[in-house]
Chain A
Amino acid sequence: MSNNFFEINDVDFNVSGKAKVKNVSFSIENEGDIICLLGPSGIGKTTILRTIAGLEKIKKGTIKLNGKTLSSNKINVEPEERNISLAFQDNSLFPHYTIEKNILLGSDRNKENKKQKLNLKEIIDLLDIFHILNKYPHEVSAGEAQRASLARSLLSQPDLLLLDEPLSNVDQSFKEEIQVRIKKILNQLKITTIIVTHDSYEAFYLGSKCGIILNQELKQYDDPYKVYHFPNSVEVVNFLNRGILVPAKVTGKNTLENLDLGTIEGNFIKEYPKGSIVQLLLQPEDLEHDDKSNLKLEVVDRKFRGTNFIYTLKTSSNTLIPVFVHSHHIHQHEVDEKFGIKRPIHIEHIVCF
């Protein structure tokens, strides 16, 4: 028997009897861990949260929390008996109560909870909602309503907290600050949390593990670093939009050869026999700019992204390769100009498919 705090075993997540995400298995090892589920819109992330909360039933597999089976083919613990809190993406505040009353309803559940009591003031300050306490849900912005909903969920101090796109309506300028605050309080209170988001940076920051859901499956469930640098499938690469795949031939233990780029060195994360033809993942940060280099590629596009430029370069075989260059870089290249690539090309982690 495993000692995981939370565990999903071979579950099909259904909506109206139809499987939305199939054969899902993952676990949260320790109480207080935060994990994130990433995936495009409509893929079934919310369905997973609703099912864990007990709002949808399962026909296959098991969902266990703290050793107790919550859902299976035969068992379905009612949502009100699970002590799992779900903060919905849309505004699910009680419209006839003020924000304050709404938040306080969260504390009703844990009157007898032996956990460390969460201070209402602390949570109000944390989420910066003091100014809306006396307002009604329809009188506040979507972002404020979302934060109030989050406050209510936090105050209920559940065994498992489920957050569905918790910051999707929060202003970009405030988002990162809130992320820091949320992470701090969740860690402080040791609230085990599953966060669903489509923002990979949010997931990488908040989660100790990330799950990628694509094409009705949980494709990868791993540390954010590994998900980012060692995507395990072409689908994950495409979803994270981390680069492009170019054909290459394995020429040695640490080298490959590409027709346009020449020799590429680095550490393979997986061994391939010499001579085998692979699809090499080229990420924007893998190539370095060097005007003195004799490897020149044509600039077809340049995007200013604040901290950096993303150049799109065309090779002689018409492959388009993205390259990051720091935006303070003095020497800028216009479209149609030649762009030098530093040789030899060294990639820290070589990911091939």
Chain B
Amino acid sequence: MRINFWYISSFIISLFVIIPILTVFSSFFENTTNYYQVLKDTFLLEYILNSVILLLCVLILTFLIGTGSAYLVSFFEFPFSNFFKWALILSFAVPPYIYAYSLTAFFENYGTAYTILKNLFGEANYNQSIPKFDGLLGVILSISFSLYAYVYILARASFLYQSQNLIDLGKNLGFTKFKTLYSIILPAARPAIVAGLSLVAMETLAEFGAVDFFSINTLTTGIYNSWIAFDDLAFANQLSFFLLLFIFALFILENLSRKRAKYHFNSKSGLKQKQKIQLSGAKSFAAFSFCFVVFFLSFLFPLSQMMYWTLKFPENLFDLQIIKLLTNTLYLVFLSSLVLIIFALTSNYGNRVTKNKTLNVLSTLSISGYAIPGVILAVAFITFIAWFDDTVVKTYGFLSIKKVFIGSILGLVIVYFIRFYSLAFNGIKSGYEKINISVDESSYLLGYSKRKTFMNIHIPFLRNSLLFVFILISLEIIRELPITLILRPFNFETFATTAYISASEDLLEAAAVPSLFLILIATFFIMVTSKYILRDKDE
């Protein structure tokens, strides 16, 4: 084995990400305070039940919305079907907590729904007849409408690559459209749908903003409380560990149920452009309505609610230092993306050129950070720095490092790095998988060194993948709440934290302006790269 620059850098990067992740997992075996006993006697069952109900409902809803809309836009032509194809991913711009603010703002007593009814039909006591989407139902709707796009994107990509021959075969056997859907199309897309649902599951269980806003006790809020109230990180970890076990159990079950079925098809025939079916009449209207309702509820509704409030209470617009928030948000986005991309790229290339098994295992482990809720990572980071400061730094008489890492941009970027490293690493890896190893070899044989191959051959080739990874990370960071909230420097606010703080102070009108800006920036990022997200260039 040759120890070279690429090996060492990849090794260090992977190790840097793994150490905090391992710290989180290892504290699973540590002793906890008596908070566990207290919780066990009181709310633990409620936490678990709420989490399970939330997870199952969100999974069912995102499956129905995501797969349903992906099926319609992939296989049928109907009015605005091309528009919906990309419009349906705009829900990514609305994080669950902002959706939760919108739901509350619209349906609350004397809220927007009330105002609309009053303006239409005059003064009356409408509050009683307006349904209330709060509590667990509110959380389920907020998360589902925000996250269904994961299922939509992956299911649609899978539909896109499905073999036309297979669908033709269904027709030949006299299958109805519905039978073709459930006996051919859905089973073939199963791995993609499951991958989408697994992302939804991880995000749901890690969701903090919306759950906290509706005061629902789930394992995630339990984790947060166990740290805030009892300073018991070990127990917080144990809860999150349960959470992860629960997710893994679901996917092992799914995997077992597949038995030996294969889901891969001949990609050559699969790449053939599928003939879309032209819908007309009632069917066309139904398909349009379904997509429009999803688009309206997931994007237009929260956007218009936030716009309405921003216009209704314009003073909030002037109270807020928009430019400052914008620069703070973009500063974090660019800095973190840059760091993540540079390191993930280096690590990927290191893995590629060294072909070292240890490095491979390390990299695989290092991408598990995404499965750990942001709250946990932030708390673990603080605990680790505090421990390191007390036991190592001070012992040797150095100045405290707490201020350097806690409540600083550096600390924030480090934890973002650990949390989103898997996104960057996997995004670049999938780009790398398209570069045949003989391309590298050809480059060496043309006299290019490893560095020159990396700079002149790989980076230009990976340009689109890097852009895609950048947008993905940016979206995550723009929407990210718990890590930013816990680790941000004093007086350093982003659109997400400002919205959260206002909402938690029951000032939803004030939360509207930062929420609106957050949605607009995220929408801009999505629109710029919708082509890559939807993989339309392959069509």
Residues of A within 8 A of B (CB): 50, 53-55, 78-86, 88, 90, 92-97, 105-106, 108-109, 149, 152, 156
Verify A80–B447 contact, CB threshold 8 A.
Answer: yes
Verify A88–B444 contact, CB threshold 8 A.
Answer: no
Q: Does B449 count as interface, using CB distance less than 8 angstroms? A: yes
CA distance A95 to B461 in the complex (A): 8
Q: Does B446 count as interface, using CB distance less than 8 angstroms? A: yes
A156-B447 in contact given A94-B439, A94-B457 (Cβ < 8 Å)? yes
Verify A55–B436 contact, CB threshold 8 A.
Answer: no
Verify A92–B448 contact, CB threshold 8 A.
Answer: no
CA distance A88 to B442 in the complex (A): 8
Verify B439–A95 contact, CB threshold 8 A.
Answer: yes
Whole-angstrom distance from the CB of B343 to the nearest CB of chain A? 23
Verify B438–A78 contact, CB threshold 8 A.
Answer: no
Verify B445–A85 contact, CB threshold 8 A.
Answer: yes
What chain A residues lie within 8 Å of B442 (beta carbons)?
Answer: 86, 88, 92-94, 149, 152
Give which listed residue, B436, B445, B460, contacts A96 with CB less than 8 A.
Answer: B460
Q: Does B441 count as interface, using CB distance less than 8 angstroms? A: yes
Whole-angstrom distance from the CB of B292 to the nearest CB of chain A? 37
Whole-angstrom distance from the CB of A159 to the nearest CB of chain B? 11
CA distance A229 to B41 in the complex (A): 94
A156-B446 in contact given A92-B439, A95-B439, A96-B460 (Cβ < 8 Å)? yes
Give which listed residue, B443, B445, B461, B463, contacts A53 with CB less than 8 A.
Answer: B445
Verify B447–A83 contact, CB threshold 8 A.
Answer: yes
Q: Which residues in window 420-457 of B have CB below 8 A to A?
A: 434-436, 438-439, 441-450, 457
Which of A54, A84, A88, A152 neighbours the largest number of chain B CB atoms within 10 Å of its CB?
A88
CA distance A285 to B435 in the complex (A): 50
Verify B441–A86 contact, CB threshold 8 A.
Answer: yes
A109-B439 in contact given A94-B461, A95-B461, A96-B461 (Cβ < 8 Å)? no
Complex: chain B residue closest to A162, CB-CB: B445
CA distance A84 to B434 in the complex (A): 26
Complex: chain B residue closest to A50, CB-CB: B441
Verify B444–A84 contact, CB threshold 8 A.
Answer: no
Give which listed residue, B438, B446, B460, contacts A90 with CB less than 8 A.
Answer: B438
Verify A92–B444 contact, CB threshold 8 A.
Answer: no
Complex: chain B residue closest to A102, CB-CB: B442
Verify B445–A79 contact, CB threshold 8 A.
Answer: yes
Which of B435, B436, B461 neighbours the largest number of chain A CB atoms within 10 Å of its CB?
B436
Verify B441–A105 contact, CB threshold 8 A.
Answer: no
Q: Which residues in window 79-126 of B have CB below 8 A to A?
A: none
Whole-angstrom distance from the CB of B450 to the nearest CB of chain A? 8
A and B contact pairs by CB, cutoff 8 A, 23 listed: A50-B441, A53-B445, A55-B441, A55-B444, A55-B445, A80-B444, A80-B447, A80-B448, A80-B449, A80-B450, A86-B445, A88-B438, A88-B441, A88-B442, A90-B438, A92-B438, A93-B439, A93-B442, A96-B460, A96-B461, A97-B460, A152-B442, A156-B447
Verify B445–A84 contact, CB threshold 8 A.
Answer: yes
CA distance A137 to B443 in the complex (A): 16
CA distance A167 to B529 in the complex (A): 41
Give which listed residue, A78, A95, A108, contacts B446 with CB less than 8 A.
Answer: A108
What chain A residues lie within 8 Å of B447 (beta carbons)?
Answer: 80-81, 83, 108-109, 156
Give which listed residue, B438, B441, B460, contacts A79 with CB less than 8 A.
Answer: B441
Give which listed residue, B435, B446, B460, B463, contacts A109 with CB less than 8 A.
Answer: B446
CA distance A142 to B474 in the complex (A): 40
CA distance A149 to B446 in the complex (A): 11
What chain B residues lie within 8 Å of A109 (beta carbons)?
Answer: 446-447
What chain B residues lie within 8 Å of A97 (beta carbons)?
Answer: 460
What chain B residues lie within 8 Å of A105 (beta carbons)?
Answer: 446
What chain B residues lie within 8 Å of A81 (beta carbons)?
Answer: 447
What chain A residues lie within 8 Å of B448 (beta carbons)?
Answer: 80, 108
Sorted nearest first, the 5 A-B pairs with minimum C-beta distance are A109-B447, A79-B444, A92-B438, A96-B461, A92-B442
Complex: chain B residue closest to A152, CB-CB: B446
Given contacts A90-B438, A97-B460, A105-B446, could you give 18 more A-B pairs where the C-beta distance is less than 8 Å? A54-B444, A55-B444, A79-B441, A80-B444, A80-B445, A80-B448, A80-B449, A80-B450, A82-B445, A85-B445, A88-B442, A92-B436, A94-B443, A94-B457, A94-B461, A108-B447, A149-B442, A152-B442
Complex: chain B residue closest to A158, CB-CB: B445
CA distance A80 to B444 in the complex (A): 4
What chain A residues lie within 8 Å of B449 (beta carbons)?
Answer: 80
Whole-angstrom distance from the CB of A18 to the nearest CB of chain B? 16
Complex: chain A residue closest to B436, CB-CB: A92
What chain A residues lie within 8 Å of B443 (beta carbons)?
Answer: 80, 94
Q: Binary interface profile of B, 453-474, with partner A (CB < 8 Å = 1, else 0)? A: 0000100110100000000000
Whole-angstrom distance from the CB of A234 to the nearest CB of chain B? 36
Whole-angstrom distance from the CB of A117 to the nearest CB of chain B? 16
CA distance A3 to B518 in the complex (A): 74
CA distance A152 to B450 in the complex (A): 19
Complex: chain A residue closest to B461, CB-CB: A96
Whole-angstrom distance from the CB of B432 to the nearest CB of chain A? 13
Complex: chain B residue closest to A95, CB-CB: B461
Complex: chain B residue closest to A81, CB-CB: B447
Whole-angstrom distance from the CB of B430 to the nearest CB of chain A? 15
CA distance A93 to B442 in the complex (A): 8
CA distance A308 to B457 in the complex (A): 51
Whole-angstrom distance from the CB of A152 to the nearest CB of chain B? 7
CA distance A85 to B461 in the complex (A): 22
What chain B residues lie within 8 Å of A53 (beta carbons)?
Answer: 441, 445
CA distance A306 to B450 in the complex (A): 51
Q: Which residues in window 456-503 of B have CB below 8 A to A?
A: 457, 460-461, 463
What chain B residues lie within 8 Å of A90 (beta carbons)?
Answer: 436, 438
Complex: chain B residue closest to A84, CB-CB: B445
CA distance A200 to B446 in the complex (A): 29
Verify B446–A85 contact, CB threshold 8 A.
Answer: yes
CA distance A94 to B457 in the complex (A): 8
CA distance A86 to B463 in the complex (A): 27
CA distance A85 to B445 in the complex (A): 5
Complex: chain A residue closest to B463, CB-CB: A96
What chain B residues lie within 8 Å of A78 (beta carbons)?
Answer: 444
CA distance A108 to B457 in the complex (A): 13
What chain A residues lie within 8 Å of B460 (beta carbons)?
Answer: 96-97
Whole-angstrom distance from the CB of A43 to the nearest CB of chain B? 20
Complex: chain B residue closest to A97, CB-CB: B460
Which of A80, A85, A108 neighbours the largest number of chain B CB atoms within 10 Å of its CB?
A80
Whole-angstrom distance from the CB of B399 to the nearest CB of chain A? 46
Complex: chain B residue closest to A107, CB-CB: B446
CA distance A83 to B447 in the complex (A): 7
CA distance A95 to B442 in the complex (A): 12
Whole-angstrom distance from the CB of B158 to the nearest CB of chain A? 22
Verify B444–A106 contact, CB threshold 8 A.
Answer: no
